[in-house]
Structure 1
Amino acid sequence: MNSHRRPPALRRVLLCAALASATLLAGPVGAVCLPTAPVAVARAQDSAVTVAGVLNFRDAGGYPTAFGPRMRTGVLYRSGALQNATDAGVQTLSDLHVTKVVDFRTDAERTAAPDRLPAGASAALYPVSSTDRLQSFGQLLSMTADEQQALLGDGGAEEMMLQTAREFVTVPGKREQFGKALRDIADARGDDAVLVHCTGGRDRTGWLIAIVQTLLGVSRDDVFADYLRSNTELASWKQGVLQQLAAGGMQDPGLVEPLLDVDASYLQASFDQAQQSYGSFDAFVRDGLGIDDGTLARLRARLL
């Protein structure tokens, strides 16, 4: 019965199966083991560019800004991890002049699913971990249905997401990594483009891109719309994850949906924490992320 803990042998089988068929999706629950995403083709915003095998790929630019010009396209991209990029997809990244790939994944995530980088591109490894209440879906599958409900039900999953969003601001080591990424984007040269990603391209990537867009004067509505677009880009992948969790024995896979989605409240929690901790978003960027006026000027000159 679901109210009884599964036998140890079965737990080991489920855990090994989950790990063997998984990529690591960070976000609210840290290094969470998920079934491998299918090879997919994603479309960059406002362009006909596709990158075969890369989930949630798009241009971060193209939006109107308060400074007059639209945010430039072709210089800053966002995506999920690159481990499933096909040969054609890798060539497309090369054609887009992607010369630096900022990777927010943890060491465990990268080891489980190494990126495929275009020739000549360098990787900037800035790991950002998340909360530790749930480390993997293997761990989740080893729980009883009652334990899963106690952990994730009644708003538990949403609170994990909100806690992660707040920790992007409150944890010094995480702020440091986001600051490094901003400096890399500001200091890119010529026609070079920077690609920022984590595993799903949703939470860590979503916050960094929201910071950049806000600094460039993109409207709050457009910032949130770009963030929420990940739900559309990852819809088929999400359904595959839920199906595999059900096949693994989870009675109510819907409990994990808040861990697979992005929600406006998650991004708002990061912005609210920045305001609460630093008094303003600008002060958060200056004092929390360590971005000085010169770096900010280079960032705007490059992306506007």
Structure 2
Amino acid sequence: MIDWPGCRNVRDLGTIPGVHSGALIRSDSLTELTAAGVEAVRAAKPSRIVDLRTHRELRALPNPFADDAAYVHRSLYPDPPPPREDLTPVQQYSWLLDYSIERFAQAVAAIADAPAGGLVVVHCAGGVDRTGLVIAVTLSSIGINRDEVVADYLRSDDVEASTLTGALEHVDARYGDVQKYLAHGGMSSGQAAKLRERLVLGPPAG
């Protein structure tokens, strides 16, 4: 875990085999950061901060980096989100992936299109569900082993492997694979290539 005072669920995805260290960080909301936490984020020099929260959440708890050039807002829901409390956790994830396919593609494209030379931070409120899905889709799209994708998801509290596994299996069954899912949502092949270039750790030289 990364120590950003005021956040409880921050980690560098570079701990996953095949992913560049310092390229992509997932987090819970940055709105509770202490002054030291804000300085810690600035010291990390992110080239992009992707906020997945709704407009309503932003109004209630503004992002401390909202005025920074690095900040972008990519909500996965309309405002307010349609209630789907009748669904199981797997069904909720699968429904959201279908309902917000264009929004997921835009969120992942925001990672791909981030200015070069800096890390990307992706966060929602708790850093578990929305962030977990965007990160899982991102990692899956660049070819990271599914067991590793699920293992990262399980590093957050109060989640079950079957929830994410079921949702990703739904994507495979309906769209073919995650790459085709993102393309169906509007992510270009050029953005997919930039995402791999940014995140994929190449084989050792020699």
Q: Is 1:175 equivalent to 2:101 in the alignment?
A: yes
Report the residue type matching 1:54 in the other structure: C
The correspondence of residues 90-109 of structure 1 with structure 2, limited to 5 A, is 90-109=38-57
Deviations 1:179-203 (A, max 9, x none): 1122121122232221111100111
The answer to whether the 8 Å contact 1:80/1:200 transfers is yes
* Matching residue of 1:116: 64
The answer to whether the 8 Å contact 1:93/1:118 transfers is no
The answer to whether the 8 Å contact 1:91/1:118 transfers is no
* Matching residue of 1:56: 9
The correspondence of residues 69-218 of structure 1 with structure 2, limited to 5 A, is 70-117=18-65, 120-129=68-77, 132-133=83-84, 159-171=87-99, 174-218=100-144
Please give the alpha-carbon distance, in whole angstroms, between the structure 2 residues aligned to 1:100 and 1:302.
13
Deviation, 1:211, is: 1.3
CA RMSD in angstroms, aligned pairs only: 2.0
* Matching residue of 1:302: 198
Q: Secondary structure at the match of 1:116?
A: coil
Rg larger in structure: 1
Deviations 1:205-233 (A, max 9, x none): 101111121122222111101001011xx
Deviation, 1:123, is: 2.5
Misfit runs of 4+, over 6 Å? none
Please give the alpha-carbon distance, in whole angstroms, between the structure 2 residues aligned to 1:131 and 1:266.
20
Q: Is 1:228 equivalent to 2:181 in the alignment?
A: no
Residues 190 and 170 of structure 1, relative CA distance in 2, 3 Å threshold: closer
Please give the alpha-carbon distance, in whole angstroms, between the structure 2 residues aligned to 1:284 and 1:118.
29
Please give the alpha-carbon distance, in whole angstroms, between the structure 2 residues aligned to 1:74 and 1:118.
22
Please give the alpha-carbon distance, in whole angstroms, between the structure 2 residues aligned to 1:190 and 1:276.
34
* Percent identity of equivalent pairs: 35
Gaps of 5+ in 1: 1-42, 45-49, 65-69, 135-155, 232-260
Please give the alpha-carbon distance, in whole angstroms, between the structure 2 residues aligned to 1:132 and 1:119.
31
Q: Secondary structure at the match of 2:72?
A: strand
Please give the alpha-carbon distance, in whole angstroms, between the structure 1 residues aligned to 2:59 and 2:138.
28
Aligned residues between the structures? 197
Please give the alpha-carbon distance, in whole angstroms, between the structure 2 residues aligned to 1:299 and 1:133.
32
